[in-house]
A and B are shown apart, each in its own frame.
Chain A
């Protein structure tokens, strides 16, 4: 029994960490620009594809491939923000939704053309293959690694967001966009940088989590609900909110799969509905109104 509990805890938390890395960028960009970007999963998918392709075709080791994928997607996100996204900052929510749906469709088609309809297997390095005995349960090393890595990313993000000038600027712009501009913050550049950073993090999550959220052309549609849940439950424009939210969702989803697999996502959805009925702004929200 206790080993099941530890399993749920580890699988749930590591899964939550993947959700966190993929979604936190969405939370920040949503909070900053109020842009409803349903296509955030696209960047995670591209990160996954880039990692897998670099590893399988060019023989690049796991971590350098991950880093390269991250950089490539960051640049892509930056370029897309400059070329397309910024045109729709003042647009209606409907236009933003349709625009991001268009991006999803196009990327799904492109992924199918280049990589085919099947999921891409990722060959993790040997040292992540094994298991580790921990308080009476055997935990896959990969899961433990995800947990540690995710915690480091979360801590780094928190430091960057809370303790640096850049973070202070972002927080100021989330709080009051016009005022931030008035005191001389170049919000335009800030948007582009943050957007690139967010997409880079999504790519990191996509590559790292390829074993959990399989990289296939359907990725941005299939997991869209998870990213949206994490951001909506966590609260917009915050770093901590999505962390709590993704850990809770990861644990809840894993626990249902262990205990009542026939219930699927039903409990998670019910929980989310009740939570947002109680707190429509999410657990932590920096944005007012």
Chain B
């Protein structure tokens, strides 16, 4: 049975941020644009971060809101990346928007398919199937070298200019703005979803499965819908990745990626959409800093950070910041 979680709900029943602090919501976006304006040479890195945030946000709908812990979310990410990549590499469709839409549909279908097989199980069996779903596609992509390039990945994928206007240039300007807009649109969409009655029913499923069926909710169908939405968005993230880098790695379907994106999300804080925005950059900078000297080091630190997160800092960085903020507020007189 599901136990009530202690992840902080973004304001039980209330909007997460009071109306007077609404401007805060613009801060991360302005920060991203500001970073680009100050250091345009980092555009490719920022693009990479946006893609991962998009991916982690789609996972948040499952892990944070619905309480579905999956270790196979890369299955859909990789599907999106490979579909977009193959379409362009073969020269069938090279238009970025069209390939992105097709990639999303493909990833959504894959999600629907695996979801319908997996979501009747729970706990360990579900986890195993989610891992297996990713590995299943990984094996196929690995063996079908004629189509996917196998272990070498899909190289030199060229897309036509975005909307027929902007070419994906060497310096990554188009890629930067493209991924930025896609991330923004996804965020707006996901915010609407999680604040809709449907989104609240997902929280209900996370908190208490039995009560939800008692009040007449089709648990399985809701979960499957959430899974399919999250899969579609993961597919978008994959497609954007393929378009911005012109390359699809076999790694994009791997178990390691599924695990990494989960850690990024948890690091920031799940169940609040903003978690991904903080967790992903922190993770990527930490990885860059720690893995540069020795990859073994990175494994060790990743483990230690996770252990600390689980034992002492549940709810991630944002939850810690929130607690710190409240503690400071209370100390002030009046």
Shortest Cβ distance from B59 into chain A, in angstroms?
A: 12
Q: Are B310 and A105 closer than 8 Å at their CB atoms?
A: no
Shortest Cβ distance from A216 into chain B, in angstroms?
A: 13
A246 to B133, CA, bound (A): 19
CB neighbours of A102 from chain B (8 A): 302-307, 310
A277 to B106, CA, bound (A): 22
Is A90 interfacial (CB-CB < 8 Å)?
A: yes
Instruction: Tell which of B6, B128, B304, B305 touches A225, judged by Cβ atoms closer than 8 Å.
Output: B128
User: Could you say which of B9-17, B95-103, B292-300 contacts chain A?
Assistant: B292-300
Shortest Cβ distance from B292 into chain A, in angstroms?
A: 16
A262 to B135, CA, bound (A): 15
CB neighbours of B307 from chain A (8 A): 99, 102-103, 106
Is A128 interfacial (CB-CB < 8 Å)?
A: no
Is A259 interfacial (CB-CB < 8 Å)?
A: no
Is B120 interfacial (CB-CB < 8 Å)?
A: yes
The interface residues of chain B, by DSSP majority, are classed as: helix
CB neighbours of B120 from chain A (8 A): 277, 280
Is B45 interfacial (CB-CB < 8 Å)?
A: no
| Chain A 265-281 residues near chain B, CB threshold 8 A | 265-266, 269-270, 272-273, 276-277, 280-281
Shortest Cβ distance from A222 into chain B, in angstroms?
A: 10
A258 to B304, CA, bound (A): 42
Is A243 interfacial (CB-CB < 8 Å)?
A: no
A36 to B142, CA, bound (A): 29
Say yes or no: A276-B310 contact (C-beta < 8 A), given A102-B303, A262-B143: no
* Number of A residues, CB within 8 Å of B: 50
Say yes or no: A99-B310 contact (C-beta < 8 A), given A231-B124, A232-B129: yes
Which residue of B has the minimal Cβ distance to A27? B124
Is A123 interfacial (CB-CB < 8 Å)?
A: no
Q: Are A272 and B132 closer than 8 Å at their CB atoms?
A: yes
Q: Are A280 and B121 closer than 8 Å at their CB atoms?
A: yes
CB neighbours of A232 from chain B (8 A): 121, 124-125, 128-129
Q: Are A264 and B139 closer than 8 Å at their CB atoms?
A: yes
Is A201 interfacial (CB-CB < 8 Å)?
A: no
Which residues of A are in contact with B by a Cβ distance under 8 Å?
Answer: 30, 34, 36, 38, 87-88, 90-95, 97-99, 101-110, 112-113, 221, 224-225, 228-229, 231-232, 236, 262-266, 269-270, 272-273, 276-277, 280-282, 289
Can you identify 29 A-B contacts, CB atoms within 8 angstroms?
A88-B310, A90-B3, A91-B310, A92-B5, A97-B69, A98-B266, A98-B306, A99-B311, A101-B306, A105-B302, A105-B303, A106-B307, A109-B296, A109-B300, A224-B131, A225-B255, A228-B124, A228-B128, A232-B124, A232-B128, A264-B142, A266-B140, A269-B135, A269-B136, A273-B136, A276-B117, A276-B121, A277-B120, A289-B1
